Every structure is written in structure tokens, then in C-alpha cells.
């Protein structure tokens, strides 16, 4: 029962089955943990440097992702910590994951949404920003096909957004293919939860009506991995990478 509920989540586990098992499940959508091969040890997530001029990050773990794509009409949303109120966002960096394929397929784009509310967010967004993949600054972060391929994707917002004490960030990947490779967004490490609560998921295909706490469906609590950058922070010239690590809460 649990395996059927966690479809859409990639988990690092040495106890899972061999890669040959994935082929028979290829038409069922994102695979349950029992169908994935064991992942090799990956570098600590702090080896993925934050984008420049960053004032806040929730660090990515390349081994954990959730389906969030137009293929399944799915989305994720996570609260922006109250301590960030008053900061202005100019850029948002997400970590896009694809799995179930030996090669990366370039998505059509990414949609970023801001919600006036959190834990859970309201049903409708207050701000919607759509980006073609070619409009994003992208970098390969993790490469281990067919288990996962992860790219960071930095979007420059058309208009800067000022964070309030009651705001959430939502996002999903726009794909122009039906299913494989499956696409979604990278999470933090399990139990690494910031702000007022864990990630919320909208994916009715996999048993998560809008908005369902991630742990309700998967028994894993985590947050969305993302970084926020503003204007005129001075971090580009004044802070070393060693100091930059402290931005990862």
C-alpha cells in the first residue's frame, strides 16, 4: 500500500531493486521506491553552490524529488519563512529533476507562482510568472541516469516581488511530452523543514489533492529546494563560498 502511495518520489535506498525492474513499470508513471536501483553515494548537498547575490537558500538533495509537471497537472508549494519579510526577490533558482530516461530532455519551461498565504497556501496564486527554458540560466548539478538528472534553473522575475509575512512559493515544470522522462522539482533532505511547515503537493493522479502535505502521501517530510536572490546585496564581491554556506539554513 505504501509503495503505491509514494509514486512520484525518488528515494535513495540501498534496499531497492535493480534497474532492470523499472522497464516493466515504465507506463505507470513515476516509479515507486521499490522499483529504483540503489543510488551511489552522492556528494553532500552543500557542494552545489548557490547562485550569486543569494540571500536565502533551502539546499537541494539530488536524491529526493517530487513530480511537479504539466504531464500530471501537478504542482508544489512551500512557505517563504516569515523572517524573510521585507526582502525583495529578483531571481528564483529551482532544481529541476528528470528521471526514467538515459538522456536529459529539455523541458518547455518552468512556471513560478506566489501565493498570499501559507501552511497551506490558498488555492489560487496572486502572481504567476512563466518562463521558457531558453530564458533560464541553467547548470547541470547531478547526473545519474536513468535514476535522476538534475539541473539548476534560475529565473529573473519580470517584476521584483517583495516578501510578506504570509507568502508561499509554488512551481512546476512545463513539458511537451506525455510522460517519460518524468519531470519534477528537487527537495531538501528528509526532515529538513523550514518556516511554518513542509512542502504542499497538488497531484491528484498520485493521491494528493490540492494542497496535501507531502508526508501525508509519502510519510516523508521535506521542503522544496530553492534559492532567492535580490538586488544590490553585494554578495557577488564581498562573500566567499565558505561564508556563502551559512545561507543554507
Structure confidence at residue 53 (pLDDT): 80
Spatial neighbors of 41 by CB under 8 A, at least 6 apart, are none
Structure confidence at residue 248 (pLDDT): 41
Report residue 52's pLDDT band, with 50, 70 and 90 as the boundaries.
Answer: low
Flag whether pLDDT at 31 surpasses 50. Answer: no
Flag whether pLDDT at 238 surpasses 90. Answer: no
Write the DSSP symbol of residue 49. P
Structure confidence at residue 178 (pLDDT): 86
Give percent of the chain with pLDDT exceeding 70: 71
Q: 247 vs 53, which has greater pLDDT?
A: 53
Average confidence (pLDDT) over 94-123 = 97
Decide: 196 and 223 in contact? Cβ < 8 Å: no
Flag whether pLDDT at 4 surpasses 60. Answer: no
Give pLDDT tens digits for 149-203: 999 999 999 999 999 999 999 999 999 998 899 999 999 999 999 999 999 999 9
Flag whether pLDDT at 113 surpasses 80. Answer: yes
Structure confidence at residue 98 (pLDDT): 97
Report residue 128's pLDDT band, with 50, 70 and 90 as the boundaries.
Answer: very high
The chain-wide mean pLDDT, for the chain, equals: 79
Rounded to whole angstroms, the Cα distance separating 242 from 3 reads 40
Spatial neighbors of 129 by CB under 8 A, at least 6 apart, are 111, 112, 113, 155, 157, 158
Q: 99 vs 242, which has greater pLDDT?
A: 99
Q: 191 vs 42, which has greater pLDDT?
A: 191
Rounded to whole angstroms, the Cα distance separating 39 from 222 reads 19
Flag whether pLDDT at 241 surpasses 80. Answer: no
Residue 137: all three cell numbers together: 540560466
Write the DSSP symbol of residue 248. B
pTM of the model: 0.77
Give percent of the chain with pLDDT exceeding 90: 68
Coarse DSSP helix, strand, coil percentages of the chain, rounded to the nearest 5 percent: 20, 35, 45
Amino acid at each position: 500500500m505504501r509503495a503505491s502511495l509514494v509514486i512520484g518520489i525518488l528515494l535513495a535506498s540501498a534496499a531497492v531493486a535493480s534497474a532492470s525492474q523499472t522497464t516493466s513499470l515504465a507506463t505507470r508513471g513515476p516509479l515507486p521506491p521499490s522499483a529504483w536501483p540503489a543510488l551511489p553515494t552522492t556528494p553532500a548537498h552543500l557542494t552545489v553552490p548557490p547562485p550569486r547575490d543569494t540571500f536565502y537558500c533551502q539546499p537541494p538533495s539530488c536524491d529526493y524529488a517530487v513530480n511537479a509537471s504539466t504531464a500530471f497537472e501537478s504542482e508544489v508549494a512551500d512557505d517563504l519563512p516569515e523572517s524573510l519579510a521585507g526582502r525583495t526577490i529578483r531571481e528564483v533558482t529551482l532544481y529541476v529533476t528528470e528521471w526514467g530516461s538515459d538522456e536529459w530532455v529539455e523541458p518547455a519551461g518552468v512556471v513560478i507562482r506566489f501565493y498570499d498565504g501559507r501552511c497551506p497556501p490558498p488555492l489560487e496564486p496572486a502572481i504567476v510568472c512563466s518562463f521558457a527554458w531558453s530564458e533560464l540560466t541553467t547548470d547541470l548539478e547531478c547526473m545519474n541516469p536513468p535514476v535522476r538528472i538534475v539541473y539548476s534553473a534560475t529565473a529573473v522575475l519580470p517584476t521584483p516581488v517583495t516578501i510578506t509575512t504570509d507568502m508561499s512559493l509554488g512551481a512546476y515544470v512545463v513539458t511537451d511530452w506525455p510522460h517519460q522522462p518524468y519531470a519534477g522539482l528537487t527537495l531538501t533532505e528528509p526532515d529538513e523543514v523550514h518556516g511554518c511547515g513542509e512542502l504542499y503537493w497538488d497531484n491528484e493522479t498520485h493521491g494528493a489533492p490540492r494542497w496535501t502535505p507531502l508526508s501525508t502521501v509519502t510519510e516523508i517530510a521535506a521542503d522544496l529546494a530553492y534559492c532567492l536572490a535580490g538586488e544590490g546585496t553585494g554578495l557577488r564581491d564581498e562573500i566567499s563560498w565558505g561564508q556563502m554556506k551559512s545561507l543554507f539554513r
